[in-house]
Structure formats: C-alpha cells, structure tokens
Amino acid sequence: MKIILNEDVYNLGEEGDVCTVADGYARNFLLPKKLAVLFNNTNVAFFKSREASIKKKKEEKRKKALSFKESIEEMSLELRVSAGESGKLFGAVTSASIAEALAREGVHIEKKKIDVPSHSIKMVGTYIIKVRLYESETADLKIEIVNERSAELRDKAAAAAAKAAAKAAAGSAPETAKEEVVQKEPVDEIIGYGDTEFADEEDDDEDL
C-alpha cells in the first residue's frame, strides 16, 4: 500500500515522504495512529502546499543534530553499576540505561537511536557508543562503566583529601598574621626614637 507519512516514523521515513508498506502495517498501525495518510490526489495536493514548511523543519532537525553531536562527543559519561571483583556486572547496561544517563545531563535521545554492542554491556570498562542523530549523522559517545563500590571509595578519598587540604590552609593563617605584627615593631621603635629627639631639643631651648 502506498502512503504519505504525516510525521517521522523510525526506520521508515520522515514527514511528507511517500512510502510503500504492507497493507496490514498501514491499516493496523500507521493509519489508525494518524502517522500516515493514503496516497491519493487530495493528500498529495495537501502535502504539496506544506512543502516549504516541511523543508524548514528538516533544516531545523539538521541544526539540532549538529548541536547534539558536539555536546555528545565532548562528554565522558560515567555509569555506576553493581559489579563483582572480576568486573562482571550484576545485570547489564542497555540503550535505555544510557538514554536515562544522557537525560540527566540535559541531552535527550531516544533509546532506539543508541547502538549498544550486542544490545547490552556486561563488563566494567570504557566503551564508545554510536548515537544516531538525523539522516546519516552519528555521534561517538564515550562511556565509563565503573563498579559503584569502587567509585564510592574513590569519592570518599577525594573528599578526605580536600578536607585535609582546607584544614592545612586554615592552620597556616595565624602564622601569617604573627609575621605581620613582628614587621610592625621596628616602625614603632623609630617613632619612639623620634619623640625622644624632639624632647631633647625642647630642653636645649630652655637652657638658652
């Protein structure tokens, strides 16, 4: 059956595309959900009138894809999971897991556009994941799968080191203040010496 897509349909086409699909797929899925309309003169004319609008939308999608590409390739995503000493995960990291982690970083990508090797990751380590954006555009996402227990110990060690450094910095402050006071003492002595000279001069005047 020949249809015209009302909106983008994954693995089929974009809004305004003319496609030939199985009759059952069209009648049971595309048409009832209003994802497509029948290919006929009336609908062809309707989409022809929207050609400029559809073209503008496609250009916006391309720009958005490029923006996503830059954001994704600049990040290194860390996923903390339960794992054994051998590094084997107690479970698996899937495209859904990665999509959720990306969303927490403010990047919203459908899980079906995230290509995970063998559909899931079952070992800790560093992986490069392909993310499909728009048309043939893709982005390489670096993800670090780490044992959550090891990550927690690392965070505690970093926090303890930061606390110790702050304490050491605070402890050195009084010494600096003391040095400043010591530096001021010779100035006071000079002022005192000046006062004595002035007094002696007054005594000499009286003798005259």
16 and 42 inside one domain: yes
Identify the domain containing residue 190 by its residue range.
Answer: 173-208
CA distance 181 to 16: 81
Q: Residue 54 domain-assigned?
A: no
Res 201 pLDDT > 50? no
Q: Residue 80 domain-assigned?
A: yes
| pTM > 0.95 | no
Query: CB–CB of 9/35 below 8 Å?
Result: yes
DSSP-derived letter for residue 9 is B
CATH code, 31: 3.40.5.10
Q: Residue 58 domain-assigned?
A: no
Q: What is the pLDDT of residue 16?
A: 92
Q: What is the pLDDT of residue 161?
A: 79
How many folded domains does the chain comprise?
3
Q: Residue 62 domain-assigned?
A: no
Q: Residue 59 domain-assigned?
A: no
